[in-house]
Amino acid sequence: MLVFFKERLAFLSVPKTGTTAYEAALAPRADMVISEPPMLKHAPVYRYNRFIRPMFLKVCDVELELMAVMREPVSWLGSWYRYRQRPFMEGKDNSTHGISFDDFVLAYMKGNKPGFADVGSQYNFMKGQPNGTSITHYFRYEDQPRLQVFLQDRLGVTLDLKRENVSPAMPLALSDDVKTRFRRKFPEEFELYESIA
């Protein structure tokens, strides 16, 4: 998570959406960088609302706008699947070695997900809170130019991004049947993604 106090902006770090590269590029410009532990680096809206927001509201009397990046839902799961294919993951509970992408997505759809498919939800990460705390600025992972223009204009910076924390490249295909079932089970993920201009 990156906080830019003067600009009244917090950049939430949705996992597997390229935010590590933005963190590396913008950390020197940020007023607050939360890069560890992962549960704070990747604090969703509800955790931001409970712990980070009150700090700025009570101490500084300031409300920050929130921004977040969302990846197309199948692509997002594909990135998790590939990330857990890294060689050192083999033999670990959350490894996807020996598991097809179809089986990974089917496991993700279970109520009680096995460790290798327990990767959270972009929708739940960004879900607005009853007190009105919600994402102000949404960006699609697939539209990097729009995200970069926003950050450069808002922060008055020129970005020099490098690839960070990249999942291994490999061809992935999801069967039509599993894709249809996934879309039917998690319509809110697709509706949110498709609502982002």
Provide the residue type at 194 as one letter: E
Q: 118 is in which domain, residue-wise? A: 2-195
Number of independent structural domains in the chain: 1
Q: What is the pLDDT of residue 71?
A: 98
Q: Which residue has the tokens 């990156």?
A: 2
Per-state percent for the chain, helix, strand, coil, to nearest 5: 45, 10, 45
pLDDT tens-place string over residues 125-167: 999 999 999 999 999 999 999 999 999 999 999 998 888 777 7
pLDDT tens-place string over residues 60-91: 999 999 999 999 999 999 999 999 999 999 99
Banded pLDDT at 171 (limits 50, 70, 90): confident
At residue 143, φ and ψ (nearest 5 deg) are: -120, 65
Question: What does the alpha-carbon distance between residue 140 and residue 135 come to, in Å, rounded to a whole number?
Answer: 13
Chain centre distance of CA 71: 7
The set of long-range contacts for 104-112, using a CB threshold of 8 Å and a minimum separation of 24, is: 104/77, 105/74, 105/77, 105/174, 105/178, 105/182, 106/178, 106/181, 108/77, 108/182, 109/181, 109/182, 109/185, 109/186
Q: Is the pLDDT of residue 120 over 80?
A: yes
CATH for 169 = 3.40.50
pLDDT tens-place string over residues 6-36: 999 999 999 999 999 999 999 999 999 999 9
